[in-house]
Structure 1
């Protein structure tokens, strides 16, 4: 497996920030009441992750080791400020819903961790790829968890799509069943904890089956030799 391919697979699956490293769980559990909320926060986080990874990689040889973490935080904060201003200008209602969790991206351990563990030790291209696919992997978990909670809690998918995509997206909402009262357990944080646990368990089962299948395929070859 080439280095770039490994970086991609790690970001999407093998070392997924949410399912394996269990980082960034505060926003993951707090805002994923709907798929669109998760997608909005995921895009914002990916933007910051890519920008900070690339910048840290470019200037890595000019950063004194003693103050590298404060410098990383300042760089991350500058990208978070940019995404705040963009969301405030173009997706204001979604910005209000996500609230404090947009500025809290600064403290997201996923972003700081990738800057320290990967971007500061690699060239810009691998750092850029790592940022993109770590962000996509994190966003995918946000979207899946948001879709699961939205479906169980209120019987819809893509509710509030217009908050992110514009007025034309109001008709994208899919209604699976009608209810007079939302299932609050799914929408509130307890539902998020259970949903995340199910996603982690599902990943572990898939990985275990893949490992067992690989072992079965290798064993006949060892017996023949």
Structure 2
């Protein structure tokens, strides 16, 4: 199945359920639970296209960049914390979850933020699985849960997910909230819990729902 009706689209897809047109299933590395197809980004979110055909033309002209790399298909996904820019523009749009909805936030800070969710020793270095579904190879040894911050050309810094870190929730009921990680509660075989303080409230969530921001403007 390559497409589905809007009523059957995942809840986080920001599309009108009353329309009769279809939305594409995604292809590529991004997880369907944490991303939306670029066709929806261009048509329904940024409104740069009225139809999928117009969105396809924009992508085929290599005009849409995800984290600085041109996309080749409207079926490719944009994941939480990915940055979308159009060629020739200085500002971009960072993808965030707000509760169970997917949003784009305009930003001039187009550095890429990715959390390490898995790690494998290759003998020549380490292959890291990132929360976006991508892999990153490095000879540097990072802990799982660490955030990697990439500039346009290379890795700029690594930020561990520790008490005192600036964080953003990327999943769960507080998704989209930013604040300071105040305390981590280890729960043995159960998921670790984290207390986060924001300007408006304090909340508790699973530690795995948080990404250290490393000073990147979200």
TM above 0.5, one fold? no
Q: TM-score, normalised by structure 2?
A: 0.27
TM superposition score normalised by structure 1: 0.27
- Quick check: which one's helix share is greater? 1
Q: Which has the larger radius of gyration?
A: 1
